[in-house]
A and B are shown apart, each in its own frame.
Chain A
Amino acid sequence: MQRIGVFVCWCGSNIAATVDVEAVANALAMEPGVVISTNYQYMCSQAGQEMIQNAIREHKLTGIVVCSCSPRMHEATFRKTAQQAGLNPYMVEIANIREQCSWVHKDKLTGTEKAIILGRAAIAKVHLNAPLTAGQSPVTKRALVIGGGIAGIQTALDIADAGFEVDIVEKKPTIGGKMSQIDKTFPTLDCAACILTPKMVDVAQNEKIKIYSYSEVEAVKGFVGNFHVTIRKKARYVDETKCTGCGLCTEKCPQKKVPNEFNLGLDTRRAIYIPFAQAIPKVATIDADYCSMLKSGKCGVCSKVCTAGAIDYKQTDQLIEQEYGAIVVATGFNPISMDKFDEFAYSKSPDVVTSLEYERLMNAAGPTGGTLLRPSDKTHPHTIVFVQCVGSRCDSSEKGKSYCSKICCMYTAKHAMLTREKYPDTEVYVFYIDVRTPGKNFDEFYRRAVEDYDVHYVKGMVGKVTPENGKLKVQASDLLGGRQMHIDADMVVLAAAIEPDKSARPLATMLTASMDTNDFFTEAHPKLRPVESPTAGIFLSGACQGPKDIPETVAQAGAAASKVIGLLAKDNLTCNPCVAKSDEMMCNGCSACEKVCPYGAITYMDKEFRGPNRTTLIRRVASVNPAVCQGCGACTVACPSGAMDLQGFSNSQIMAEVDAICK
């Protein structure tokens, strides 16, 4: 007979407020097999755990039930507690009487009654628990970073620094991401390229890091420590080994009218291009949608001009299979599209730009060579209006985002300051709801913009922008001044909200990582585990997890790298022992389970069995590889005879819980 200990936690007042913990402990003491049933203010505390350990040794308990918070919080804690006291960690069951009982029911009577029932269910389950020992599975000592922005670069560098091999998969022809498009960075105004390109060169020169540029992740199989990833290396029609990056072809290509996405379409590039001067890998890429040679077979100028003979029109997509132990998602962000905000006339006038476009206009490598000119008539703008929170902080209606995009206040203050410094004759207005500058030296930076560069910060909003004979008539409210302002602006800059990169959604499905309603990756725990995804072995770095500025992204990239290093440092991983197990005597060998297994963990073998009157029967039976099985249980339902069962969540255990609940 099992000797079970029941420990009811008060959780301070979280449980004790709406559940009579004394009554629960006394009621559960009467359950069969329970030898001790106590309660304590904080079961998960040091004292609480010691109380459990003493009880295990004193009463020689064979199983414990802790009625406390969600198993997702402290199941691991209480399993460790039991293990230290010599009890098999899988003889521990948690009754969730906080999140699913005391916090959701106001009335103390019903709360107590329900807590007792949940306690009974946990006791019924622990009766049928069998001691399990976790198996081992090997760890491939290589990491994959998806996304080559500053987040991916920093993570890869840190992992490589620890001596592990890293592959970066970047879908654009070069790494660098959004930061390579930025001119100056707040709050220190040092130039983005100056601090980014050396890191990009480090990545290129680091022999532990391999860059798959112009490539995307096609498929991900396997699980933590044993990911099997298929990478699609898109055809760039240029042989990377031969191309020296001289750029001759990019000058001679006759197809000139291709919108340059690096400059957000503000200028054009050739069909064969190198995105920007410091691109890594510095290799040309042919844009198949515009190259007339690829489309109609009539041209070939670039191959004639190329001294290195690197052009290869026959190149096709390559599928590369790789093994990894850990995967870091660093897919970054994009500004949202402005076509739903017609009150700002973004689509009507070229002089209404987003902040990123403004960044390119200010950038020396930008379309206007660094001098700020109006995109419409290339004249110098005298009055510029910045509009904050465009699409951010909306009530998650179909056109906007419900969250604050966090970085706009700072980069708008930067734009305003740089504009005023370079062109003192321009009037700069910034319409804001709140200026949010929470970082180190952030507010001082904003105050400098207001006090030293007298940028007009107006608490209010721009109502509408109407382009009229070359000027932008801006109608806005000045709430503190209690007046409606009418400004004839030369340019309007919209601080657009940012959203995760569109490639994140299919990637999340591949990685079985979950996403929140705004398509940001959900972290394992918002406060305690911000850089890990709930799926083991998948880590999050940078803005794919939420709006972030560069300092935070680099910090998070380092954190993700440290988690990956922690994982890869292990030779093998203790894997989840709650896996499926087949009872050979009852197995029909009908391979129903094999067909539903998502991990291919089930194999078959012919085994000899003793048949009637001393004959030997050969029967085909299933066997589960515990290292590959993840314990989902699909096979246990596909198996009609119940031969296949899941350890830790067996058929009889779940039925015992059902009985205890419905009694």
Chain B
Amino acid sequence: METKNLTQEVIRISGANPKKCMKCGKCTATCPAFDQMDIHPHQFVDMVINGRLEELLNSRGIYNCLSCFACMERCPRSVEPARLIEAVRMAVVRQKENNHLKPDAIPALLDDELPQQAITSALRKYMK
């Protein structure tokens, strides 16, 4: 998916409207996970608007977002940045290759105390 309609796709999944952002920085101010994130919420929204999707897709920061929704609660323009981050995560999941956890690598990592559910959720969450 070249970036033009990938950006539309992300905005459509998120249901948020990034263009409403007036770059006040309140989301970044209230973000408790500020230090762990390489791309901060206000930059995130700006990058979605400008279609800089590759950096977002490869950024590690999107997994450190706690989804505490403080940014959504306090954004004066109701831009809902958390939804955008969630949408980018979905876009990453929907991409085809470069998975971390390959299915055939799983038997080696198994041990019998591991509950069944852990395996399936690992596949689902950390495949990427």
Contacts and interface: CB of A to CB of B under 8 A. Distances in A.
A454 B28 CA distance: 25
A17 B88 CA distance: 43
A394 B76 contact: yes
B23 interface: yes
Interface in B79-121: none
Given A475-B30, A477-B42, A484-B35, A389 B76 contact: yes
A479 B76 contact: no
Contacts of B34: 477, 484
A397 B24 contact: no
Contacts of B31: 463, 484
B30 A463 contact: yes
A648 interface: no
Given A433-B24, A460-B25, A479-B23, A395 B30 contact: no
A606 interface: no
A53 to B, nearest CB: 50
Contacts of A459: 25
Given A395-B20, A395-B78, A464-B29, 6 more contacts: A395-B76, A397-B78, A433-B24, A460-B29, A477-B29, A479-B42
A343 B34 CA distance: 17
A386 to B, nearest CB: 14
Contacts of A430: none
Interface of B: 20, 22-26, 28-31, 34-35, 40, 42, 70, 74, 76-78
Which 7 A-B pairs have CB atoms at the shortest separation, nearest pair first?
Answer: A463-B29, A463-B30, A477-B29, A477-B28, A461-B26, A477-B25, A394-B76
Nearest to A475: B29
Contacts of A394: 76-78
Interface residues of A, number: 21
Most buried by A among B20, B28, B31, B78: B28
Interface in A456-511: 459-464, 475-479, 482, 484
A400 interface: yes
A400 B76 contact: yes
A479 B78 contact: no
Chain B contact residues: over half helix, strand or loop, or mixed? loop
A463 B28 CA distance: 8
A393 B42 contact: no
A494 to B, nearest CB: 13
Given A400-B76, A463-B74, A393 B22 contact: yes
A436 to B, nearest CB: 12
Given A343-B30, A477-B40, A477-B42, A461 B24 contact: yes
Contacts of A395: 20, 76-78
A295 B76 CA distance: 45
27 contacts: A343-B30, A389-B24, A389-B76, A393-B24, A393-B76, A393-B77, A394-B78, A397-B78, A433-B22, A460-B24, A460-B28, A461-B25, A461-B28, A462-B29, A463-B28, A463-B74, A475-B30, A477-B25, A477-B28, A477-B40, A477-B42, A479-B23, A479-B25, A479-B28, A479-B42, A484-B29, A484-B35
Nearest to A341: B74
A461 B42 CA distance: 11
Contact of B29 (A389, A393, A400, A476): A476
Contacts of B30: 343, 463-464, 475
Contacts of A479: 23, 25, 28, 42
B126 to A, nearest CB: 28
Nearest to A483: B34
B86 to A, nearest CB: 20
A349 B42 CA distance: 29
Contacts of B24: 389, 393, 433, 460-461
Nearest to B41: A477
A475 B30 CA distance: 7
Interface in A616-649: none
Contacts of A397: 76, 78
Most buried by A among B22, B26, B42, B77: B26
B38 to A, nearest CB: 11
A388 to B, nearest CB: 9
B20 to A, nearest CB: 6
A389 B22 CA distance: 12
A405 to B, nearest CB: 13
A101 B28 CA distance: 47
Contact of A461 (B29, B35, B70, B78): B29
Contacts of A477: 25-26, 28-29, 34, 40, 42
Contacts of A433: 22-25
Contacts of A389: 24, 76
Contact of A484 (B22, B28, B77): B28
Nearest to A476: B29
Interface string A364-398: 00000000000000000000000001000111010
B21 to A, nearest CB: 10
A343 B70 CA distance: 10
A538 B21 CA distance: 39
Contacts of B40: 477, 482
Interface string A250-282: 000000000000000000000000000000000
A397 B20 CA distance: 13
Most buried by B among A475, A476, A484: A484
A521 to B, nearest CB: 25
Contacts of B78: 394-395, 397
Nearest to B34: A484
Contacts of A462: 26, 29
A463 B33 CA distance: 13
Contacts of B35: 484
A460 B42 CA distance: 10
Nearest to A392: B76
Most buried by A among B23, B24, B74: B24
A229 to B, nearest CB: 41
B68 to A, nearest CB: 12
Interface string A448-460: 0000000000011
A463 B40 CA distance: 14
A387 to B, nearest CB: 10
Contacts of A393: 22, 24, 76-77
